[in-house]
Chain A
């Protein structure tokens, strides 16, 4: 990894535990996070950091501890926020990912149907057509940016389809998604200020409010997320509560965006790093679904979720006081060799391949998991059929963000099979 002047990999093994900075988004940008979490898992699996741009917080890094917390939603609340940063006190968006039962359950069930496998079968043909279109339009034998031409484009089109969002405006969805997760406190100062983010939230809410009113009562069948909210008694009047409506829209936009997008890029990188696995999947295309799960583990596109304690609690010998932030590092749990065999290997047919933490665990487990897996499966089915080679031809650029592990640029060259 080439790093700019002034940035170097911290010597995580040599530093005192209390000096470890678990809030540094550069560890994902320059891909040097592995040693930090390995040391925490070994020596301090429940770690306190008293000072960070996001304030004081605890880090939980072992797989089993993360699962134990996910099971105990009474002690470890998802309110008021599931990100390491706190929401603005005057603009607390309400979204079910950041709610506890029973309200969480009602709102989640209202939109669950849209990503249920029954609906996915209907979407599959459409997704495949769009994937084929994108892959067939890629240049041959010259480098192009896979992030821009494949990952971003495909996930944007999928989101626009799910919302039935005006097609010509669809890039707004991805711009908003990037904006919502770019707070300066989790982007080493490179992201957006509060004012700019609020401006975008306002624009997004305004557009979605218009769409709500255009669709309300037009008698069409509820196949998109907006109409589904309108059709369910629990959420039929959600537009009257803008902070809740906006919260849920934001959740669905972000949830269906960075995650799949970055796994689409990650897969290319991993198959280039592990050519034996590429050979394996080319010989055994029936391994694609298993490979998709392994890509999702290996990428862990959302590296953390945060909980807040509702009482004093002891975890692995550490006393955590009521009201403190507890950050669950999924990216660390997914590389914990106490549970995941040979975690540093990208191993497309590993045993229990679906048993990873990238979707979280328990009642907040990713609602769109089957949709994400389907999008990735179709991408790889179609890509492996057309391209004889898919080669990373330059250094990937990674996202500088504590909440998102991903890629901003990935130079790739492909060659097609001669038919």
Chain B
């Protein structure tokens, strides 16, 4: 079981169990974790599920579409990702998802 810890910009934390096959974005919405807007519903075409990801194991790198969207963020960091593009997989390491101050 992969445990996902969402940390809001104000520091408040929420830990939830990940379901294999759901994205981090869908996981947040399923558990009513705030801070993710997900306007486009998961297509990596709106950029409103931006987050900063910390994980000890390997996760697939962003594809060109995700990279292009992340490139627009003024607050982009090395570990910036779109939460809709990271799927919880079997045996995936626990993961910490820090949410930015705002989505746009």
For A70, list chain B residues within 8 Å (CB): 45
Q: Does B102 contact A361, Cβ atoms closer than 8 Å?
A: no
For B101, list chain A residues within 8 Å (CB): 117-118
Q: Does A363 contact B68, Cβ atoms closer than 8 Å?
A: yes
Q: Does B69 contact A354, Cβ atoms closer than 8 Å?
A: no
For A108, list chain B residues within 8 Å (CB): 72
Tell yes or no: A194 within 8 A of B by CB.
Answer: no
Shortest Cβ distance from residue A223 to the other chain B in the assembled complex, whole angstroms: 16
For A362, list chain B residues within 8 Å (CB): 45, 65, 68-69
**Quick one: which of A287-313 are within 8 Å of B by CB?**
none
Shortest Cβ distance from residue A368 to the other chain B in the assembled complex, whole angstroms: 9
Contact with A along B65-104 (1 / 0, CB 8 A): 1001101101000000000000000000000000001111
Shortest Cβ distance from residue B70 to the other chain A in the assembled complex, whole angstroms: 10
Docked CA distance A370–B102 (Å): 10
Docked CA distance A118–B65 (Å): 26
For A369, list chain B residues within 8 Å (CB): 104
Docked CA distance A370–B72 (Å): 15
Contact partner, B45, options A71, A352, A354, A370, Cβ 8 Å: A71
**Quick one: which of A339-363 are within 8 Å of B by CB?**
352, 354-355, 359, 361-363
Tell yes or no: A211 within 8 A of B by CB.
Answer: no
**Quick one: which of B17-39 are within 8 Å of A by CB?**
37-39
Taking A115-B104, A118-B101 as contacts, is the C-beta distance between A361 and B72 under 8 angstroms?
Answer: no
Shortest Cβ distance from residue B49 to the other chain A in the assembled complex, whole angstroms: 12
Tell yes or no: B43 within 8 A of A by CB.
Answer: yes
Contact partner, B41, options A71, A355, A365, Cβ 8 Å: A355
Tell yes or no: A67 within 8 A of B by CB.
Answer: yes
Taking A109-B74, A112-B74, A355-B41 as contacts, is the C-beta distance between A117 and B104 under 8 angstroms?
Answer: yes
**Quick one: which of A184-243 are within 8 Å of B by CB?**
none
Q: Does B45 contact A361, Cβ atoms closer than 8 Å?
A: yes
For B74, list chain A residues within 8 Å (CB): 109, 112-113, 116
Docked CA distance A173–B71 (Å): 31
Docked CA distance A73–B68 (Å): 10
Q: List 22 A-B contacts (CB under 8 A).
A: A67-B43, A101-B68, A102-B71, A105-B71, A109-B72, A116-B74, A116-B102, A116-B104, A352-B41, A354-B37, A354-B38, A355-B40, A361-B43, A361-B45, A362-B45, A362-B68, A362-B69, A363-B71, A365-B46, A365-B47, A367-B104, A370-B104
- The 9 A-B pairs with the shortest beta carbon distances in the complex, nearest first, are A117-B102, A361-B45, A354-B39, A355-B41, A362-B45, A105-B71, A112-B74, A370-B104, A363-B68
